[in-house]
Structure 1
Amino acid sequence: MCGIVGAVAKRPIAKLLIDGLKKLEYRGYDSAGVAVIDAHYQLKRLRVAGKVRELESVMHDHLFQGQTGIAHTRWATHGVPSEKNAHPFVSHDEFALVHNGIIENHSVLRDQLQRDGYCFHSDTDTEVVVHLIHKNYKKNQDLLAAVRAAVMELKGAYALGIISKHDPSRLVAVRQGSPLVIGKSQGENFIASDPLALLSVTQQFIYLEDNDMADITLEDIKIFNMDMQEVKREQHTLSISHDAVERGEYRHYMKKEIMEQPEAIASCLEGRVTDDHVLPAIFGPGADAIFSQVEHIQLVACGTSYHAAMVARYWLESLADIPCTVEVASEFRYRKIAPSKNSLFVTLSQSGETADTLAALRLARKMDYLSTLAICNVPGSSMTREADLQFLTRAGVEIGVASTKAFVTQLTALFLFVLALRQKRTADTQLEVELVAQLRRVPALVEKVLQQDAAIVNWARALMNKEHAIFIGRGALYPVAMEGALKMKEISYIHAEGYPSGELKHGPLALVDTNMPVISTVPGGELLEKSLSNLQEVRARGGKLYVLTDQVHLFDQDSFAGAHIIAMPCLHAALAPILYTIPLQLLAYHVAVLKGTDVDQPRNLAKSVTVE
């Protein structure tokens, strides 16, 4: 969740570190700091409670130069947001350290270090680590050995970046359960918690694995395991352009990413479908044989990805006739599981580093599952490396904390997954031909929905002063209602809940009055009449109806007078969840803009949740 940037170079790197932190602001944070080793081999540090721009402003007032340094944006776990709790942390002005993750045994270590005479100036778990390094360095005057000895005492998850005035052209990095990547360049090298931070200086990256410790200098990178055996890690070229992480003409990243969804869906489909069927090899070598044996699917995810998994359950059971179980990752990993026979374990994650989902995947690999599949947006991420099968959604860089294009490309990927499984279950190809043809229409239809932006702004004006909202949908649109409510909560801070339409009379209807907006998705199909009945229940209690529908003519009746209607394009009912998601994203966005909230970095949230 926090952001790390580090560099060892032959040029001043303070500005480079700050620029890297700016690229990581999407992750969410409450304080920022930077430390460098200056020309006199002295360790210098600046920290602020607040935004990176405030840190940058403070730097202009100091002579802050150095060719080796580390920087950090912190999302509070231990200790309130404040300057004293901001990273980097130092020990005796000799060592500086930045840390992502949580040190679970910090209290015990703190007590030991205090007995050894160390003074603590923060409330964090991190400060113990830098003092441990200092303590161990005194024994043998070897930075790498001191770092290793320190981390051998740690319990928890961590990515560490360490510099020392005793080794002014050296940067040490350690990964255990929290992502860290090395950026490789000519005559200078870098570390970061996300390669996006370094795209302006390199496109060559090495992804560290758990228990890796990297010794990084100007010209060399050596990686060791905790037994001090040197290991080799593959170098990757990241082809994302630097411009991809800029807002361009848009006021917010979220709006930019909403508008990029037609292109993102098209990219997800490219090379994976023909005119009439899904190509069977798109899930990687071995997938064909595994899919032939599948008798059950276990989907595990968090947040928005969990909603995508819930949609997929409807698809898997109705289109592929395969039983499916969906579970929140943080629940899955902490209860006794009884895997079904020949069950394929599938994880969903935008980043591929989500802590609970990654832990669930690692647990599943030790259990009696047929195989594992990761559906993810980030190549080289932990999930894509650790799952047996991988599918990249190709959404492109997503900066806004509230996921949009990553969600619709997950839905697209899951639909391809369902059709690929269906091929193994039936020789009847007629439905697949129809669905693939409909799927290929989706990017153009999403473009059409985006043209309803002005009408959605009018809805937003009506909702901006509300304190509560209810979102409803039937079938596979029930998870879409939950996703719409989540978006509203995340960025507008309006309390919103998503329900199955048929569940209204079992409790939520008690909340409906003239002040309660009810946002509903009502496509044509076999559940249409049921959905209309539910809307009448709302209207009879004075609730304000906001309806997305491809059956506009049904709402011309007096029985729906006063309802707010937005027309949706007609599409096969199975694919409606992708299409009906778009206006709900726009609605949350416009309400948030009108309320003046921080759309891209909503309070208390982070983009990449890499701690429990």
Structure 2
Amino acid sequence: MCGIFGYIGEKNTLQICLKGLKQLEYRGYDSAGIAGIKNNNLIFCKTSGKIFALEKKIEKQNLELDIAIAHTRWATHGKPDEKNAHPHFDTHLSLGVVHNGIIENYAILKDFLKNKNIKFSTETDTEVIAQLISYNYEKYKNNLYLTVHESLKLLKGSFAIALIHKDHPNIILAAARESPLAIGFIDNKNEILISSDPNAFIGHNLNVFYLRNDEIALLSKKSIKTYTNQKKLIEKKTSLLEGKNQTFSKEGFDHFLLKEIFEQPITIQKAMLGNISEDFGTAYFEGLKFSSTELMAIKHIIIIACGTSWHAAYIGASLLEDKARILTTAEIASEFRFKNPIISEETLIIAISQSGETADTLSAVKEAKAKGAKILGICNVKNSTLTREAHSCIYLNAGPEISVCSSKAFTSQITILSLFTLLMARLRHFTKEDGQKFLSELKKIPKIINQVLEKQKEIKKISIKYSKYKNFFFIGRKYMYASCLEAALKLKEISYLNATSYPAGELKHGPIALINKNLPVIAFCSNKQTYDKTLNNLMELKAREAPILAIAPNNAKEILQIADDIIFIPNTIDELAIFPTTIVGQLFAYNIAKAIGIKDIDQPRNLAKSVTVE
């Protein structure tokens, strides 16, 4: 979840590292720090809070560094304060480490080192890495590479680290196990950058490769040496990242989240681009490595994901059962990995992760692969861990999502799942005409979303009205229940208000006891199949004085007599109604957050974009 950055080169080290950290701040913003070697001394600066606080402190210290490692933290072990901020050091202040991941056996190692009279100054698992390497340094005769190689063998868990040592003032050592770490360099290797995410290399054209499986890289100007966990020197395959002319901008919007909400008509089109065949009424995916014969043999699909991606999985499971008639379940990845699922050669696992680095999803993928399942990844980031672990991968092509709260990636995931459902249905019972009809409706979605976005002022006005409440119920049936799940999560994430989602029919089985005039109900009513039943549920709520806001299709006139407020949206088929209702939910959450004065909408408290710890 944390962000690591490092730089070796001839340009302004501090400026480049700070710029890199700002690109990584979505990964955590509890504290930040930087360290380097100058005149054979280890020099550092760190602080609690966001990058701008570190920037101000650096200016006051008049810091200058030749090479540097830097970090932005999402707290796991220890409070989010300056003491626990990275980098972390050994007792002698001879080496510094930045780390992303979790060391599961840190307490055992810490006790061992304490028994060797080594004193600890922080609560973190990362300090254990620094102290352990320092303890072993003399044992391995001051050979930094060998020391780190042997020390990493003692660590259990996942990690990506960058390390500097005052005895090796021109070297950064980098290593990774089950945690992302990219290394980028210009052709002559006069500039080398390290990052948890290659998006932080924006502004540079670089050759990029990734460390994995306990690989260690020794980096110095004009030199990159990469070793396997068997100490074999290897040449890593690189890809060219052309980021010199790329920038991230809000383009006039108040927040990245609002910008990304308004990008969705375009990103949905990108998800469809090149993946549909109108003549044959089907979908196809370039790069999908499963043959038609293999796909036809699939009898069971399990979709695994976390958070917003799990809400997309829920929709995908419903679509695949309804349309393709394949037994499908949506599983929360953090729970799935501890189950004992029934998996066979006829099982397909679909793993969804925007970043491709979600730790729980990756762990679930490994469990399923070990049982012989085929793995299909749905991901937004090329070269991420999921794309390497999956047997095949479909990309969202949504572009970088800067706001911590997902918006455009979610609707792109649903687009891909809709197209994959079409492909699987056409391989079975769906006729060409059935497929063409479905594609015709799907192609209307970008226009429908534009029509919803045009209601921003209306939605803002209603959101302000409801911003006085502290608790919310979101209800819906079938496909609309997924809308509730996602809308409630968005409201919790960016407004810090209590929002709970229920299938509408479940209210009378307990939750209705909470209903009163101070608990508004946000009702998603855009499925024709469940519309009448949902109205019955709303009547039960109205009888108990609940304020009701309904999101309903334009032709739903009956609801005028029931709801206190209504946001009408364009009609579409039930299977695709998740798209316009999702946009309403996103705008509702955003406008409430603004109305109650939330400042950090793009970076909500306690959250991180890429959840790389379990």
Give the TM-score, by structure 2 length.
0.96
From 345, 365, 370, the counterpart of 2:369: 365
For 2:430 and 2:518, how far apart are their aligned partners in 1? 53
Tell me, what secondary structure is at the counterpart of 1:190? strand
- Check if 1:301 corresponds to 2:305: yes
* CA displacement 1:58-83 (0-9 Å, x = unmatched): 11112311221100011111111111
Q: Any conservation in 2 of the 1:268–1:394 contact (CA below 8 Å)?
A: yes
Equivalence for 1:508:
511
Equivalence for 1:580:
581
The aligned runs of 1:69-80 (5 Å cut-off) are 69-80=68-79
For 2:55 and 2:501, how far apart are their aligned partners in 1? 42
Change (3 A) 1:96 1:611: same
Paired amino acid for 1:596: G
Paired amino acid for 2:88: F
The aligned runs of 1:254-293 (5 Å cut-off) are 254-276=257-279, 277-282=281-286, 284-293=288-297
Equivalence for 2:564:
563
From 608, 611, 614, the counterpart of 1:609: 611
For 1:577 and 1:523, how far apart are their aligned partners in 2? 8
Q: Any conservation in 2 of the 1:35–1:69 contact (CA below 8 Å)?
A: yes
Q: Any conservation in 2 of the 1:212–1:223 contact (CA below 8 Å)?
A: yes
Deviation at 1:274, TM superposition (A): 2.9
Tell me, what secondary structure is at the counterpart of 1:119? coil
From 198, 217, 220, the counterpart of 1:214: 217
Change (3 A) 1:225 1:448: same
- Check if 1:227 corresponds to 2:230: yes
Q: Which moved more, 1:297-306 or 1:535-544?
A: 535-544
* CA displacement 1:150-196 (0-9 Å, x = unmatched): 11111111100011122222111111121111112241111111112
Paired amino acid for 1:69: A
Equivalence for 1:64:
63
Would you identify which runs of 4 or more consecutive aligned residues in structure 1 move more than 3 Å? 238-244
From 185, 196, 201, the counterpart of 1:198: 201
For 2:453 and 2:11, how far apart are their aligned partners in 1? 46
Equivalence for 1:26:
26
- Check if 1:167 corresponds to 2:165: no
Equivalence for 1:87:
86
* CA displacement 1:382-432 (0-9 Å, x = unmatched): 001110010001111011111100100000010111111112112622111
Paired amino acid for 1:136: N
- Check if 1:188 corresponds to 2:191: yes
Calculate percent identity across the aligned residue pairs. Answer: 38
Q: Any conservation in 2 of the 1:296–1:341 contact (CA below 8 Å)?
A: no
For 2:17 and 2:385, how far apart are their aligned partners in 1? 24
Paired amino acid for 1:480: S
For 1:435 and 1:241, how far apart are their aligned partners in 2? 41
Q: Which moved more, 1:534-543 or 1:261-270?
A: 534-543
Change (3 A) 1:512 1:340: farther
Paired amino acid for 2:262: M
Q: Which stretches in structure 1 are left out of the alignment for 5+ residues?
A: none
Equivalence for 1:121:
121
Tell me, what secondary structure is at the counterpart of 1:24? helix
How many residue pairs align between the two structures? Answer: 608
Tell me, what secondary structure is at the counterpart of 1:61? helix
From 320, 323, 334, the counterpart of 2:324: 320
Tell me, what secondary structure is at the counterpart of 1:223? strand
For 1:164 and 1:246, how far apart are their aligned partners in 2? 37
Q: Which moved more, 1:131-140 or 1:264-273?
A: 131-140
Tell me, what secondary structure is at the counterpart of 2:577? helix
Q: Any conservation in 2 of the 1:552–1:565 contact (CA below 8 Å)?
A: no
Tell me, what secondary structure is at the counterpart of 1:282? coil
Deviation at 1:524, TM superposition (A): 5.1
Equivalence for 2:51:
52
- The alignment yields a C-alpha RMSD, in angstroms, of 1.6
Q: Any conservation in 2 of the 1:346–1:375 contact (CA below 8 Å)?
A: yes
Q: Any conservation in 1 of the 2:207–2:238 contact (CA below 8 Å)?
A: yes
The aligned runs of 1:124-523 (5 Å cut-off) are 124-139=124-139, 140-185=141-186, 186=188, 187-239=190-242, 243-276=246-279, 277-282=281-286, 284-339=288-343, 342-369=346-373, 371-426=374-429, 428-523=431-526
